[in-house]
Amino acid sequence: MNRDRLNAIDLFLQHQYIDSGRLPGAVLHICHRGRPVHVAALGHADIAANRPLAEDAIVRIYSMTKPITSVALMMLVEDGLVQIDDPVHRHIPAWRDLQVYVAGTHETGFITRPPARPMQILDLLRHTSGLTYGFQNSSNIDAAYRARKVGELEKSGTLEGMIEDLAQLPLEFSPGDWWLYSVSTDVIGWLVEVISGQKFEQFVVERILGPLGMTDTGFHVPAGESARLATCYMRDADGGLIVQDQAETSSFLETPSFISGGGGLVSTAADYMKFIEALRTGKPRLIGRKTLDLMTANHLPGGKYLQQMSKAAFSEAAYDGVGFGLGFATTVDSPRTLVAGSNGDWFWGGAASTFFFVDPAEDLSVVFLTQFVPSSFYPIRRQLRSMIYAALE
């Protein structure tokens, strides 16, 4: 890779995003052909305290938790304990009679109809389940989720309680009809717990985090490491950065009651690189090569793209040529995306503007971490992709 081009990325981040006050800081790790070729830590972990953002800063990775949870489920598939076309109600009996929304509100009551077919585990993995997120703010079902605090990390409840709440709420649509970002991966975490007979968080530690040496990754900041947690920011009405979650008082410092497989992990750039490189190379082995091939194929019905199937506006569904697999997005038609890349790359991001991508054709793995919500505010993911691919010789 071209060293000058790689260094230009740091200058871009510093001048365009950090010095301008758009982001507090950034950590970028790039591995090529199995070795680190670029590591940079820029800006601040906490602006008011003038605390620099270190390479080993611990951050909220939010939805970058989802690939880890999805891999945990696929480990159980490899163990012969579950199939991805299993109906979900086989493992959650209370969901046998889930209905689809027709009209009404959570206050007045819902009018519903039966789904065209039962929800499958496949639907949870690829977000075609009919479940939603309360933060979508686009439907009466979203409002019902907010009223019950379904899937919220701050909820003073449990994963089991969320499953019980969802049994009482209609689906947005019949499973398989649309793609809608949702609490589906939280449900996958519950299935891992039910099927394995272990607490979900224990399974993740024993089967993924422990074997990979991901000691800085967990559902709360590791004991004694609170000083490494970065503060998370958002924009105020004047365009400046204000605190969204202060590091010293963050809920991520304590063990949560709600273990979120959809967004509950904190991690570091080095730790997450261990995870994606283990998947890319098979060393150490988490899942088999053909299982990864299955996960990173496009599983949207009819081979459609996210843009064609997305029921609500979402930052990762904003450009063409991208499909969705079993826990990852994947590029299906690279020219249609209008950004440099390769067919068959796989990627995702988190609500605090973090993201990763892996390009097997180029032996390339990238982790980008910052702490700014929402992730849809800036086009930084596309910009970084263009600049990183431009560094390939």
**pLDDT digit string, tens, across residues 217-237:** 999 999 999 999 999 999 998
CATH number at residue 144: 3.40.710.10
Q: Is 223 within the bounds of a domain? A: no
The confidence band for 137, taking pLDDT boundaries of 50, 70 and 90, is confident
State CA 288 to chain mean position distance: 22
Give the residue among 245, 241, 212 at the shortest CA–CA distance from 230: 245
Total tally of structural domains belonging to the chain: 1
Distance in angstroms (rounded) separating the CA atoms of residues 357 and 368: 9
Spell out a b/e string for 108-125, using b for 16 or more CB atoms within 10 Å of the CB, else e.
eebebeebeebbbbbbbb
Spell out a b/e string for 138-173, using b for 16 or more CB atoms within 10 Å of the CB, else e.
eebbbbbbbebbbbbbebebebebbbebbeebbbbb
Q: Is 321 within the bounds of a domain? A: no
Distance in angstroms (rounded) separating the CA atoms of residues 277 and 359: 11
**Quick check: 43 and 26 in contact, CB under 8 A?**
yes
Q: Is 379 within the bounds of a domain? A: no
Q: Is 140 within the bounds of a domain? A: yes
Given a cut of 80, is residue 155 above it in pLDDT?
no
Residue type, 373: V
Q: Is 109 within the bounds of a domain? A: yes
Give the residue among 162, 154, 165 at the shortest CA–CA distance from 106: 165
Distance in angstroms (rounded) separating the CA atoms of residues 78 and 151: 28
Distance in angstroms (rounded) separating the CA atoms of residues 72 and 68: 6
The confidence band for 314, taking pLDDT boundaries of 50, 70 and 90, is low
Residue 178 domain boundaries: 74-196
Residues constituting the chain = 393
Q: Is 159 within the bounds of a domain? A: yes
At 39, give phi and psi (nearest 5°): -135, 125
Sequence-ordered alpha helix ranges (H) in 197-316? 200-204, 210-212, 269-281, 289-295, 306-309
Given a cut of 60, is residue 316 above it in pLDDT?
no
Could you read off the pLDDT of 166-212 as tens digits, one per residue?
999 999 999 999 999 999 999 999 999 999 999 999 999 999 999 99
- H or E segment at 336? helix 334-337
**Quick check: 380 and 349 in contact, CB under 8 A?**
no
User: Quick check: helix, strand or coil at residue 328?
Assistant: coil
Distance in angstroms (rounded) separating the CA atoms of residues 374 and 233: 9
**Quick check: 128 and 179 in contact, CB under 8 A?**
yes
Q: Starting at the earlier edge strand, list the strands of the sheet with 35-46.
A: 51-52, 35-46, 25-32, 364-369, 355-359, 346-349, 329-331, 322-324
Q: Is 238 within the bounds of a domain? A: no
pLDDT (mean) for 135-152: 90
Q: Is 99 within the bounds of a domain? A: yes
Within 10 angstroms of residue 216's Cβ, the number of other Cβ atoms is: 21
Could you read off the pLDDT of 15-35 as tens digits, one per residue?
999 999 999 999 999 999 999
Distance in angstroms (rounded) separating the CA atoms of residues 50 and 63: 28
Global model pTM greater than 0.75? yes
The confidence band for 313, taking pLDDT boundaries of 50, 70 and 90, is low
